[in-house]
Structure 1
Amino acid sequence: MDSHFRGTLWTTLILFTLPHLTCNMLCPGSCLCNSNNAKCVGDTITDIPKQLPVLTSLLRLDQTKMKIINEQSLANKKLLLRFSLTRSQLHTIHPRAFHVAPQLKSVKLSSNDLSALPARVFSPLIALEELYLDRNQLESIAPDMFKGLVRLQGLDLSHNRLSSLASHVFYELKNLTFLNLGWNSIKKLPPTIFHNLTNLGNLMIYNNELEVLEAGIFDELVNLVALKIHQNQITSLPPQVFWSLRNLENLTLSSNRLQTIPEKSFYNMPKLIQLTIYNNQLLSLPDQLMGHMPDMTVFYLYNTNLTTVPGNLFANMSGLQKLNFHLNIKLRELPSDLFCCVPNLKQLSLKYNDLHYLHPQLFSRLTTLSVLFLNDNKLQSLSDTLFQGLEQVLSVNLKNNTLKNLPGDIFLSNTVLSDLLLSGNPWNCVCSISGIAKWIRHNEHVVLDKDDVICHSPTYQQLRTVGSLRDEELFCDVTTFRTYLSTRELMTPFHTISTSEQTSGVASTTAMPTTRSTTIQLATQQVTIQTNTPTAKPSALHTTIPPTTLQSHTTTLSPTFHDTLVVEQGPEFVHHNLLKGSVYVWFLPSGAALTGLLMFCHILLVAVGLFLILAAMFCMYRLNKTMDELKAEFEHPPG
């Protein structure tokens, strides 16, 4: 019983092992055989191996020195269904090379040196479903090249040197679902070239030299899902050229030469998910351009010459989540209702445009927005209500604009804001900036570049960070001051200004013969003081300072001056000394002639000083030499 059982077991093992042993015995040394697959790699392969496992249905040859597929290369491969010869030196195919293998369903000849193909060389392959001829040197395709390939579903002709195609070259490929013509040199396509491809789902014509699209060229492609015609030289679109593409989900028109787009070009495409028209020379867009696109989630519109856009541009994109609307260097204004109807928008990029102004209600309906890029524009000011509706915004980038100030409560409603960038703006650190300075101090963890948010003006605040400013340094609490006013018109050598926190001030001058009116700048307060003094003696003037913005033609007072300030006339180059509780300040006049004269005098004095030093050194030298001579005579008298 045991002996019989052992015999049966050995028989079974032999029956199961023998085919594998046979396969391995028939597998060439440069190949790897596994079940019904065989892969052969290496420079030693110059032709298709004659001896392969009988059951081989997939044969892959890669990086070989095979240059020709001859008439018998595929002979005796009755079960072979998929044949691949890639990254080799193949340059010739015999006209009858595939007559011995009509059962093939897939042929891949990518990345070879094929520059020409015999007419109808693939016609015997009546069962062929996939044909890959990409990355070769093909310059032309015979009009009847694909005749008889009625079952073909995928055809890749990309990365060749094709410049034109016959109008009926794809006529018999009624079951084709994928066609790639990208990366060629095609300048023009016949208007009927795709008319028989009613089952086509993916059409790639990108990276060619197309200058025009013929009217009606896509009319029969009712099942097309993806159309990629970016990176061409298309200058215009025929009206309604895409209207038959009701099932289209992806359309790329970017990197062409479009300056205008016909009205209603993107109507009748309700399934569209992605549309790209960036990198075009667009000057304007029509008011009616986008049809109903509820499934659109991503939209790219950047690097154009647009100066503005229609207010309803995104109105039919209710499902939009990401909008890249940047790098439009001439885009200066946006309609106030531009983002009215995109309630699901999560990321909005408006960076690197030319925006000078944003309407206070521009973002009011973007209640789900989480990321907003406004950097590298020319925004000069922002309304305190601009971000009021952005209750879910996490990141706002305002870097590199021309902002001098921001309302203190502009981010009041943005309670989840965690990433704010403000550097690269010319902040004006006077009293009006105290609100946003206080907000920055209380939200340092939010302002990621707080150390680079630097004051550009006034001069005495330069290089300070906005977050370091305090109200008392900005004169926000000063309401009155006393001033002794002197200007060139009043012919007074100097005037004294005394600052304090009282509610009134006194100003006095000496020997002022006429009535004058002078305006002085002190932080954000303005005062105009009229002086009416007799010629005999000075008089005192009582002045109350209103809490309004000060403007001056001569004097800006540093916030550290709280005592008596003696001011000499002059607009620039401030110098000061502290003496007995008073700060004495004088200014060097900045007239060009006077400055030149002073510079000349300075250089002359330096030159005279150097001359005197050299003269003194020479005199010392002569004196020392004379003394040496006298000493020598004294020590060694003559005779």
Structure 2
Amino acid sequence: MDSYFRGPLWLILILFTLPHVTYNMSCPSSCMCFSTGAVKCVGYTITDIPDQLPAHTYLLLLNDTNMNVINEQSLANKRFLLRFSLTYSHLHTIHPQAFHVAPQLKSVKLSSNNLSTLPAQVFSPLTTLQQLHLDGNQLEIIAADMFDGLVGLQDLDLSRNKLADLASDVFDGLTNLTFLNLGRNFIKKLPPTIFRSLTKLRQLVIYHNELEVLEAALFDELVNLEELKIHHNQIASLPPQVFWSLRNLEILTLSSNQLQAIPEKTFYNMPKLSKLTIYNNPLLSLPDQLMGHMPEIKEFYLYSTNLTTVPGNLFANMSGLQTLNLHLNDKLRDLPSDLFCCLPHLLKLSLKSNNLHYLHPQLFSKLTTLGILLLNNNKLENLPENIFSSNTALKSLTLSGNPWDCTCRIRGIARWVRHNEHVVVDKEDVICHSPVYQLLRTLGSLRDEEFNFCTATRVPSNSPTHSDVHEPTQPFHSISTRGQRSASTTTPPMTTSSTTQGATQRVTIPATTKPANPTTLGAKKLLTSLHTVTTALPIEEPLPSTKTHSTYYMSPPFYDLLVVEQGPEFVHHNFHRGWVYVWFLPSDKTLAGFLMFSHILLVATGLSLILFAMYGMYRLNKTIDKLKTECAHYEG
């Protein structure tokens, strides 16, 4: 039984194996041949297309070879070959008849070679050609009739050459072209009718050229265009309505040009747009009517400009926006309060590295889906406490690199940061820049009880107005009084305004004792030294009833720190019988200069005396050594 089946099994195995053995035996050296009909040849030993290829080869890839010329017989006898690629091989010459022997080719790739010229109509025999790549060569001129007869061409890549000018009719007849790449050349201007035949074009790439202008009717016939990339050029202005015919456009890149202004309604009639970039342009302003209805847009990039603000309705027609990069605008100082009103699906918003000083409390209130918000590296000193109350989906927030002013106004946002530390990803770098007594503290380390003295109060008619009692916003002079506190009950602070020789000073004094009778000797001394003093009473408490009608109210002793806003240059205080006496001395430039000169003179004199004494000691030591030597000599 075994011998009965053994013969047919071996026969079947031989029949299945024989075609593969025969195929591998016919594969040239330096090549890999695949049963699918693809052949790949690599190496400098290859100087021409191998003659002995498997009969059914339809794809031939030659890479890194020493083949510099395609002669008139290189592609002969390859009637099944449909796709031919010769790349990175220093190819510099193509025979005018090279493709006459292979008219069946559908794809020709000659990328990354040294072609500087092409014979006239060299590709014309390829009437069924669909793909032609000539990128990465040294081509400076494309003849007007170069693509004659290529009515089936769909994919044309001319990028990374040295093209500076193109004839207006160079693409005429390419009515089936869907992809055209002219990027990374030296094109300065495109004729207004150059794309008139490309009604089926879907992708047009013209980036990294030297275009200075776009003709008004340049894109009028590209009614099916889906992607237009014209970034990294020198375009300084746009014609009105230049993109209006592109109703199917999905991607538009205008970044890295020289645009200072954009005409009104430039981006109208593009309802399918999903990505728009206009960053890295020296834009000075944007018109109120700029963006048309584009509900499909997902990404918008507007950064590295000279904008100081943007229209409040800029994003009003972008309801589908998910990523908005509005950063690196070092002059962008203000944002309209309703700027982000109509972005219900926004997931990421970048406002980092701008010049923002203030954000409206309701700025982010409609961004209920926002997950990432970047506010780092601005000029923000404070934020409203409830500015993020609506952003329940927020997972990542950056706040570092801002000059946070950790005075009373910071209390609310510091509390929010403390309760949402998991959201603030750079919390260790969100630090106080002022005042000096809070310097380098993180916002998360500030506690509510540190701001108990911040609450405002009502004052009587003969006391300072509310506008006179406010949180200091200028740099402070700070005097430590550590170890001189009274152990009495704590009361809120009082704010003292004083006028000395026409200059106004505000002293914020957190108190530890209740106000004393202003008729005491201490009060008299303080009032005399200040010349004129008006004092607000403790916070959030009504003015206590008093029988005295004195204009002045005495501030109580304070905590460890006396804070003087824009105060005098010289402050002195002493503690006596439970009272702190503060003496202000007005500055005098002449006196200050004299004192400084005297100080320097005294220091210089002291140093001179020290040096003289050291020299004297040196001389004395030398004399003593000499005497010792002489004495030893005489004794010997």
Deviation at 1:182, TM superposition (A): 0.8
**Secondary structure in 2 matching 1:292:** coil
**Paired residue for 2:24?**
24
Instruction: Classify the secondary structure of the residue corresponding to 1:287.
Output: coil
The 2-side partners of 1:31 and 1:216 are apart by 50
For 2:515 and 2:383, the matched residues in 1 are separated by 34
Partner of 1:365: helix, strand, or coil? coil
Secondary structure at the aligned position of 1:203 is classed as: strand
Partner residue in 2 for 1:423 = none
Rounded to whole Å, the distance in 2 between the matches of 1:399 and 1:590 is 44
Name the counterpart of 2:513: 501
Summarize the Cα distance change of 1:452–1:366 in structure 2 as closer, same or farther, 3 Å threshold. Answer: closer
* 1:82 matches 2:83: yes
TM-score when normalising by structure 1: 0.79
Q: Tell me if the contact between 1:520 and 1:552 (Cα under 8 Å) persists in the aligned partners.
A: no
The structural deviation recorded for 1:212 is 1.2
Q: Which moved more, 1:350-359 or 1:209-218?
A: 350-359
Instruction: Indicate the residue corresponding to 2:363 in structure 1.
Output: 362
Deviation at 1:243, TM superposition (A): 1.1
Q: 1:34 corresponds to which residue?
A: 34
Instruction: Give the TM-score, by structure 2 length.
Output: 0.80
Conserved 8 A contact 2:384-2:412: no
Distance 2:426 2:147 in 1: 62
**1:600 match: secondary structure:** helix
> Cα 1:523–1:22, aligned 2, differ >3 Å: closer, same or farther?
farther
Contact 1:259 1:283 in 2 (8 A): yes
Gapped runs of 5+ residues in structure 1?
405-426, 490-496, 526-539, 573-588
Q: Deviations over 1:273-320 (max 9, x none)?
A: 011111112122121111110000100011111122211111100000
1:553 aligns with 2:567: yes
1:124 and 2:125 aligned: yes
Q: Which residue of 1 aligns with 2:341?
A: 340
The reply to whether residue 305 of structure 1 matches residue 282 of structure 2 is: no
Distance 2:353 2:265 in 1: 28
Residues 554-633 of structure 1 correspond to what in structure 2 (within 5 A)? 554=568, 564-565=579-580, 591-612=592-613, 614-615=615-616, 618=619
Structure with bigger RCO (C-alpha 8 Å, 6+ apart): 2
Residue equivalent to 1:111: 112
Query: Quick check: 1:295–1:317 contact (8 Å CA) kept in 2?
Result: yes
For 2:38 and 2:631, the matched residues in 1 are separated by 116
Which residue identity lines up with residue 68 of structure 1 in the other structure?
V
**Within 2, Cα distance between the matches of 1:500 and 1:166?**
87
1:22 is paired with a residue of what secondary structure?
A: helix
CA contact (8 A) 2:530 2:584 kept: no
Structure 1 residue 390, shift from structure 2 partner: 2.0
Check the 8 A contact 1:130/1:154 in 2, yes or no. yes
One-letter amino acid of the counterpart of residue 32, structure 1: M
The answer on whether the counterparts of 1:272 and 1:295 sit within 8 Å (CA) in structure 2 is yes
User: What is the rounded CA distance, in whole Å, between the counterparts of 1:347 and 1:275 in structure 2?
Assistant: 15
Bigger mean CA offset, 541-550 vs 609-618: 541-550
* 1:455 Cα offset (Å): 4.7
Q: Distance in 1 between matches of 2:144 and 2:451?
A: 82
Instruction: Name which of structure 1's ranges 157-166 and 614-623 shifts more when overlaid on structure 2.
Output: 614-623
The alpha-carbon distance between structure 1 residues 158 and 547, as it changes in their structure 2 partners (threshold 3 A), is farther
* SS of match in other structure, 2:156: strand
| CA-CA distance at 1:160 after TM superposition | 0.8
Which is further off, 435-444 or 232-241? 435-444
Residue 94 of structure 1: aligned partner: 95
Counterpart secondary structure, 2:295: coil
User: 2:482 — aligned with what?
Assistant: none
Shift of the alpha carbon at 1:253?
0.9
Q: Which residue is 2:210 aligned to? A: 209
Deviation at 1:15?
3.6
| Residue 170 of structure 1: aligned partner | 171
Is the Cα contact below 8 Å between 2:192 and 2:217 reproduced in 1?
Answer: yes
1:223-266 Cα shifts (integer Å, max 9, x gaps): 11111111111111121111111111111111111122121111
Q: Note the C-alpha offset of 1:31.
A: 1.1
Q: Give the Cα separation in 2 of the matches to 1:568 and 1:550.
A: 12
Q: Distance in 2 between matches of 1:392 and 1:562?
A: 58
Q: Give the SS at the match of 1:143.
A: coil
Note if contact 1:83-1:106 (Cα within 8 Å) is conserved in structure 2. Answer: yes
C-alpha separation in 1, matches of 2:597 and 2:138: 73
Distance in 2 (CA, whole Å) between partners of 1:466 and 1:290 is 39
Contact 2:397–2:424, Cα closer than 8 Å, also in 1: no
Contact in 1 for aligned 2:572/2:583 (Cα 8 Å): no
**In the alignment, what sits opposite 1:408?**
none
8 Å CA contact 2:131, 2:153 repeated in 1 = yes
Take 2:510 and 2:170, find their aligned partners in 1: how far apart are those partners? 94
| Deviation at residue 19 of structure 1 after TM alignment | 2.6
Q: Partner amino acid for 1:219?
A: D
2:237 corresponds to which residue? 236
| Conserved 8 A contact 1:475-1:524 | no
CA distance in 1, matches of 2:334, 2:631: 93
Q: CA separation in 1, counterparts of 2:41 and 2:632?
A: 108
Change (3 A) 1:361 1:467: closer
Change (3 A) 1:501 1:628: same
Q: What residue is the counterpart of 1:268 in the other structure?
A: 269
Distance in 2 between residues matched to 1:330 and 1:512, nearest whole Å:
48
Q: Name the amino acid aligned to 2:596.
A: T
**1:517 aligned to 2:518?**
no
| Distance of 1:441 and 1:563 partners within structure 2 | 37
Superposed CA offset, 1:339-364 (max 9, x none)? 11111111111112222222222222
- Once residues 14 and 131 of structure 2 are traced to their aligned partners in structure 1, the CA distance between those partners, rounded to angstroms, is 39
**What secondary structure does 1:126 align onto?**
coil
Q: Deviations over 1:584-625 (max 9, x none)?
A: xxxxx9923212212211221232244245446645765786
Give 1:552 deviation, angstroms: 7.0
In structure 1, the residue matched to 2:293 is 292
The structural deviation recorded for 1:109 is 0.8
Instruction: Work out the CA distance in 1 between the residues paired with 2:591 and 2:430.
Output: 31
**Which segment is superposed worse, 347-356 or 456-465?**
456-465
Report the Cα distance in structure 2 between the residues aligned to 1:522 and 1:562, rounded to whole angstroms.
24
The 3-state SS of whatever aligns with 1:39 is strand
2:170–2:194 contact (8 Å) kept in structure 1: yes
Distance 2:11 2:527 in 1: 134
Instruction: Note closer, same or farther for the CA distance 1:366–1:614 as it changes in structure 2 (3 Å cut).
Output: same
Name the aligned partner's letter for residue 517 of structure 1: H
- The Cα of 1:50 is off from its aligned counterpart by 0.7
1:336 and 1:488 map into 2 onto residues whose CA distance is 42
SS at match of 2:345: coil
Residue aligned with 1:63, SS = strand
Distance (whole Å) between structure 2 residues aligned to residue 513 and residue 520 of structure 1: 10
User: Alignment identity in percent?
Assistant: 60
Query: Cα deviations across residues 142-167 of structure 1 (Å, max 9, x unaligned)?
Result: 11111111111111111111111111
Amino acid at match of 1:288: Q
Q: Distance in 1 between matches of 2:327 and 2:91?
A: 46
Moved more, 389-398 or 11-20: 11-20
Gaps of 5+ in 2: 454-489, 502-508, 540-549
Q: CA RMSD in A?
A: 4.0
Deviation of 1:115 (Å): 0.7
Give me the whole-angstrom Cα distance separating, in 1, the residues matched to 2:306 and 2:392: 33
Whether the aligned pair in 1 keeps the contact of 2:511 and 2:557 (CA below 8 Å) is no
Is the 2:529–2:584 contact (alpha carbons within 8 Å) kept by the matching residues of 1?
no
Spell out the pairing of 1:42-57 with structure 2 (5 A cutoff). 42-57=43-58
Instruction: Say which is worse superposed, 600-609 or 114-123, in terms of deviation.
Output: 600-609
Distance 1:48 1:568, change over 3 A: same
